[in-house]
Chain A
Amino acid sequence: MSNEAILEVRGLKKFYDIEQGWFKDNIQVKAVDDISFHVNKGETFGIVGESGCGKSTTGRTILRLDEPTEGQILFEGSDINLLSYEKMRRLRRKMQMVFQDPYASLNPKKTIKQILTEPLRVHQLYSKKERIEKAIEILEIVGLSSYHLERYPHEFSGGQRQRIGIAKAVILNPELIVADEPVSALDVSVQSQVINLLLQLQDKFNLTYIFISHDLGVVRHITDRVAVMYLGKIVELAETEQLFTEPMHPYTKALISAVPINHPDEKKERIVLSGDVPSPANPPNGCTFHPRCASCMDICKREKPPVISFDDGHTVACHLYTN
């Protein structure tokens, strides 16, 4: 893991317009609202948050699977947001994605052989024969075998399908992989297998991961740095262990305290948030978290909090820390 940034996101925004007919203004949903962060080469960068926080949208927008409304996405130094469709398509070789739903991310009508050789073929790598060899190689690395080449996705379990999805992403030997809730849809005992696979592959191929998840236990285990998102904004970003042992933002504290205990005897101080998550189409004024915050002050209702950075790279967006 180096300190060289492989990806830098600056001021990323993704807004959706919802039409309301001729007599009302459009509603604008600010799914991702001005976020900035960087990812170092070789590290595992986590993005956590609850539903509607914008973490999945962030993952897709970084890869331009959803076009950003605004912002810069610097991959290995250059802004990929400026690339033409064709140039971006060719660059995808280096930035891949692992999807959440193993039952939906593989084309049900294609064999595993077709699914795995396609990325190589599309980027014009290797000869036909070599591609099949590569497919077998990657299958074995993920714990399957050449026996599975001629089978169809529906013949596999969820965990196996997820391995195939991972194989498809890794076969191109990319630099960066965005993993969007890669284990959330899997059974507990399968989750650990797939997480181990991801760790091994990172080691073997020197991969950089952006790991998006709502499961704090898993995130704590495998990430180096974590960003916490709420209603489209990053409210806190820090090195993983520090985030979990010394959280600063009230939302982060509540989130960590909400995770179920690991042992019946464990006593937990629960911070119960009042109310529900507001709709991203109608976020509160000032700090979007203020209606639910136990430490809400006057200024929180009026002004958006600035992003405050500390020396160790820990950042937090909260009025409590403006000195």
Chain B
Amino acid sequence: MNKEGGALNNKILEVKDLQVRFNTSMGTVQPVRGVDFQVHEGETLGIVGESGCGKSVTSLAVMGLLPSPAGYIAEGEILLEGKRISHLKEREMRKLRGNDIAMIFQEPMTSLNPVFTIGEQLSEPLRQHTELSKKEIRRKIIEMLKLVGIPRAEEIIDEYPHQLSGGMRQRVMISLAMLCKPKLLIADEPTTALDVTIQAQILDLMKKIKSENQMAMLLITHDLGVIAETCDRVIVMYAGEIVENTDVRTLFNEPKHPYSQGLLASLPKLNERKQNLYSIKGNVPRPDEIPKGCAFSTRCPHVSDKCRNERPPLLKLNHQSCRCWLYEGETQEVMSHVK
């Protein structure tokens, strides 16, 4: 697998200065505070961060699935192959979903309708987006199920979701996503709910599909191991913004942002056995508790006065971009809109 990044010429997804707000009974919160990234054809971009960082909200925004009217894109744009999709009406988004963009979620049980057979659910996108006959649809489905490694495809097609195991269901979800050969696959914590041996199978499957179809993939997870396994490029999110954007090797070899460094340092493998693990002090702030200045300032071991008062912009460095005042001297070029 080519880890240096796929074909960099074709930009499939571009997100510019995305800001998402939610109206809650306690006021307005902004879980995504200005996010920029791109995913190219054949490339897997990982978004890594802990709960509350805004990664899932970002993916929902891309799919047009923000719970409205409470949630909305306050600013910024989302472009699919150069065309704006962030302000499309629901009807047009539906044409894209399952067709150009597909999404798989964490809980395959709740993503599949329990009262329809697998076959009925898989034929849905083909009926929506193509003109194929029933027979042809069935044939295509069986082909796809076999492709994702489901052995008894002809039988499974008439079974119900509850009759399958978690791993099988996730494979069904993947085949559902792949049926219309999407250009972009968004996978939100696809293996978190699965056992580790099944997770290994699913990750291998996803890598295979990606390389065979030259598909662009956006993978959202909190698990650095999954990132190391599958991603070409990675963005690290914290408190609604990107704090580091780099290729996967650089992230593991030379993380620059103190938060990325902290996350990597707290992995058990990298600590001496039976000794205290490195841990980042403090807690992830709630959306309404984000500190003034740099969002990470309250937990950073290298914090300075400037960090507490001024929010750092995303700075372009040699191998990555990093939102941290520590690297101010290394560059004059600012990546993000902030200035």
Contact = CB atoms under 8 A, between A and B. Distances in A.
B204 A272 contact: yes
Contact of B277 (A195, A220, A266): A195
Contact of A260 (B228, B263, B276): B228
Interface in B1-18: 3
A157 B223 CA distance: 20
A188 B266 contact: yes
Nearest to B234: A264
**Most chain A CB neighbours (cut-off 10 Å) among B204, B273, B278:** B273
B283 A190 contact: yes
Interface string B222-256: 11111011010000000000000000110010000
A276 B168 contact: yes
Interface of A is mostly: helix
Contacts of B248: 264
A169 to B, nearest CB: 20
A164 to B, nearest CB: 14
A27 interface: no
> Contact size class for A?
35 or more
A221 B201 CA distance: 25
B44 to A, nearest CB: 12
Interface residues of B, number: 45
A24 interface: no
A262 B196 contact: no
Nearest to A202: B274
A5 interface: no
Given A189-B262, A220-B273, A263 B197 contact: no
A122 interface: no
B280 interface: yes
Given A157-B283, A196-B279, A217-B268, A258 B196 contact: yes
Given A159-B283, A187-B50, A277-B195, A192 B269 contact: no
Contacts, number: 116
A304 to B, nearest CB: 22
B271 interface: yes
B233 to A, nearest CB: 11
Interface in A219-237: 220-222
A30 to B, nearest CB: 18
B228 A189 contact: no
Contacts of B203: 260
Given A157-B283, A193-B279, A260-B225, A255 B197 contact: yes
Contacts of A51: 166, 195
B165 interface: yes
A8 interface: no
Given A221-B271, A257-B200, 6 more contacts: A157-B284, A189-B50, A189-B280, A192-B277, A214-B196, A273-B197
9 contacts: A187-B51, A189-B50, A192-B278, A214-B195, A217-B269, A220-B269, A222-B274, A264-B248, A270-B204
